[in-house]
Amino acid sequence: MVGTAEGVTHNVYSNGSVQNLNGATEEKLDELRRLVGKAEGDPLRIVGVGAGAWGSVFAAMLQDSYGHLREKVQIRIWRRPGRSVDRATAEHLFEVINSREDVLRRLIRRCAYLKYVEARLGDRILNADEILKDGFCLNMIDTPLCPLKVVTNLQEAVWDADIVVNGLPSTETREVFEEISRYWKERITVPIIISLAKGIEAELEPEPRIITPTQMINRATGVSMENILYLGGPNIASEIYNNEYANARICGAEKWRKPLAKFLRQPHFIVWDNGDLVTHEVMGGLKNVYAIGAGMIAALTNESATSKAVYFAHCTSEMIFITHLLSEDPEKLAGPLLADTYVTLLKGRNAWYGQKLAKGELSLEMGDSIKGKGMIQGVSAVKAFYELLSQSCISVLHPEENKPVAPVELCPILKTLYRILITREFSSQAILQALRDETMNDPRDRIAIAQTHVFYRPSLLGHQP
């Protein structure tokens, strides 16, 4: 992107053509403002809740695109106060700053550089919310963002928000939105909520079902599901902010998903829309389960491409089997699910976590919230999927033994991950042993079973058959 003397931003394409972006950007914003019902002089208020990697990048992308239209839109992000930056991270942050001339100059202009010098020397403690204002996400230090408007008081952040972006881990979503609901009791207008969270919970009574972050938000706040949407990958947050070409899909009711897809779309960030919210959201959690195992396999086989391919064949066959339990039209999910799985296995935090566990550089005792990475969502997802699929009341007919079995009995990798991560009966080596088990069926057999038997269990997603 380049600027002109008049302050108009243009996009320079590889073919040499130049396009005025400001006019199109303001037009998209005006269109969304009309749909939300904003009056002239009343800015559209967009708030990110949670400042992990994806939540921070999402807020920064909006700030980069629309932040110059200050009279029409206000963009801010909430994170909890008090999280300190340790000395090693401060030193690394200082190196990142000094390696980027644009960032260095920006901090000097803002009279903010000295505090990073003091932190590097150990003379000052920085806080996560403090550095976020300067454009640094604690979970993504190597990717400087634009400066953000940061609010640490949750009530101040959300009470008048028109659009709330949930950037929290699924494990924190319910608790925070229950608090938010208290601040919305006097609201007249209903906010729009976009959830970025990938993870699920299991609810076993009165019957087994999956609870997703959008459903948690609906239960906590009473906001209609028509106003709650899910935005998913495949993508990696840092690469999106560095303008790598990326796709995303916003899922939910047509009223908001189509205008929001248009509003969020950028030349390097293409946003499609889809009406199947819950299934896509569940699939976003499912791929994190198997990404942890992929990381273990990579570490245990010294990055053997053959072993990783064997694992991929088995794990995707289990994922396809599970989609047949969850969706009446599972074939429609194949592309998005495999694409999201592929990028997560290549460079996601869950695969990284599996590698570190297998190498002994992390231990399960450290928990699933890791410094510099944030929440490892796949751990809780392993527990939830295992608990759900081990319920006898949703049993399926075993094709070889010709008797009903819990679905998890046809998912040996999921069973092994549960025994490594949750019950801790096995070490990480067990994932390799499971892969090399001579009794392991050909992955195509599991896919054939799913495709030739009626396994769909609508109750798992709270639907009626």
For CA atoms 307, 308, 311, 313, give the dihedral sign.
negative
Shortest CA distance to 76 belongs to which of 133, 118, 33?
Answer: 133
Q: Is 440 in contact with 314 (CB distance < 8 Å)? A: yes
Query: Cβ–Cβ contacts within 10 Å for residue 334, how many?
Result: 13
Q: Is 144 in contact with 105 (CB distance < 8 Å)? A: no
Please give the Cα distance from 435 to 311 (Å, whole number): 7
Tokens of 399: 């094709």
**73 forms bridges with which residues in the sheet?**
44
Q: Is 262 a catalytic residue?
A: no
DSSP one-letter code for 159:
T
DSSP one-letter code for 409:
G
Structural element, H or E, at residue 419: helix 412-421
Catalytic one of 38, 72, 287, 373:
287
Please give the Cα distance from 323 to 405 (Å, whole number): 17
Q: Is 91 in contact with 372 (CB distance < 8 Å)? A: no
Tokens of 36: 């939300």
Could you give the residue numbers annotated as active site?
287
